[in-house]
């Protein structure tokens, strides 16, 4: 019935500590780990010990090694989504696109409301920086999809809900992998770009003003607008897949 307790290896301790930091949200999706030497010094272990722990975390899908760049935190929900029927469903056409919007309506409206209650000043500053970048791109007659996605993700980070953060990161990651076609094929006018900017600004102001109900409402209005644009593109048969916005 009982088994002898084996002494834990140092690499197991390092593995568990890093894993806990990821699961708890102290290390967020996209965060870069310090260099191996620095980690070893901070944790009081040798570099081979750190290397072994990181290799295990990479194998488990918690971390990703990017050649020439470093080691980054993955979303703990991403591998589950990629191996589920949802991953193939994303490629199945218009029905998938519209159902993704329905999911985003649920998650992002509540994310905005929670962010209005919980966002730190640093997180508000980050949202504002993304808004400035968004405005700059619109002035150039462009729509910066990455900045747009980062703005939405920064709202999820401000909820301080670890599962929601990883889930939203995974959803955006999968959406971006599908295609950029809607951004290229929908006939976005300059006024459309400015309307998207105004919507994002209104969401930010509601969060900054600590108004959860208004943040929820403004995010819902934005998602309804996105849904309408996608339906328009589908009717005109100019798009087969979906990006974020």
Residue 144, domain CATH: 1.20.120.530
Of 74, 97, 113, which closes a domain?
Answer: 74
Say how many CA atoms lie within 13 Å of 211 toward its Cβ.
Answer: 13
pTM of the model: 0.67
Of 44, 74, 104, which closes a domain?
Answer: 74
User: Is 1 part of a structural domain of the chain?
Assistant: no
Burial track 165-184 (b if 16+ CB lie within 10 A, e otherwise): bbbbbbbbbbbeebbeebbe
Could you list the residue range(s) of the whole structural domain that residue 192 is in?
Answer: 79-235
User: Is 184 part of a structural domain of the chain?
Assistant: yes
Asked if 186 and 239 touch (Cβ cutoff 8 Å), the reply is yes
Asked if 169 and 226 sit in the same domain, the reply is: yes
> Sign of the C-alpha dihedral, residues 42, 121, 30, 108?
positive
How do residues 116-132 score in pLDDT, each as one tens digit? 999 999 999 999 999 99
How do residues 143-190 score in pLDDT, each as one tens digit? 777 788 889 999 999 999 988 988 888 777 666 554 444 555 555 678
Asked if 196 and 93 sit in the same domain, the reply is: yes
Give the residues across from 72 on adjacent strands.
Answer: 32, 64
Total structural domains within the chain: 2
């Amino acid at each position: 019935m009982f088994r002898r307790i084996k002494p834990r290896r140092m690499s197991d301790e390092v593995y568990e500590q890093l894993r806990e930091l990821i699961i708890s949200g102290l290390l967020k999706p996209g965060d870069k780990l310090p260099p191996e030497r620095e980690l070893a010094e901070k944790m009081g272990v040798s570099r081979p010990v750190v290397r072994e722990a990181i290799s295990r975390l990479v194998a488990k899908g918690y971390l990703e090694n990017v050649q020439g760049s470093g080691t980054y935190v993955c979303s703990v929900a991403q591998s589950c989504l990629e191996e589920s029927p949802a991953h193939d469903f994303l490629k199945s056409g218009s029905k998938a696109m519209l159902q993704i919007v329905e999911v985003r309506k649920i998650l992002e409206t509540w994310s905005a409301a929670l962010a209005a209650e919980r966002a730190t000043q640093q997180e508000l500053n980050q949202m504002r920086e993304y808004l400035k970048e968004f405005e700059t791109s619109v002035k150039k007659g462009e729509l910066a999809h990455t900045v747009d996605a980062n703005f939405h993700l920064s709202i999820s980070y401000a909820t301080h809900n670890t599962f929601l953060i990883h889930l939203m990161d995974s959803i955006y990651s999968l959406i971006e992998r599908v295609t950029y076609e809607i951004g290229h094929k929908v006939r976005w006018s300059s006024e459309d770009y400015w309307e998207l900017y105004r919507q994002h600004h209104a969401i930010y102001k509601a969060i900054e003003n600590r108004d959860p109900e208004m943040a929820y409402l403004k995010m819902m209005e934005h998602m309804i607008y996105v849904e309408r644009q996608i339906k328009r593109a589908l009717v005109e048969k100019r798009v087969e897949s979906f990006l974020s916005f």
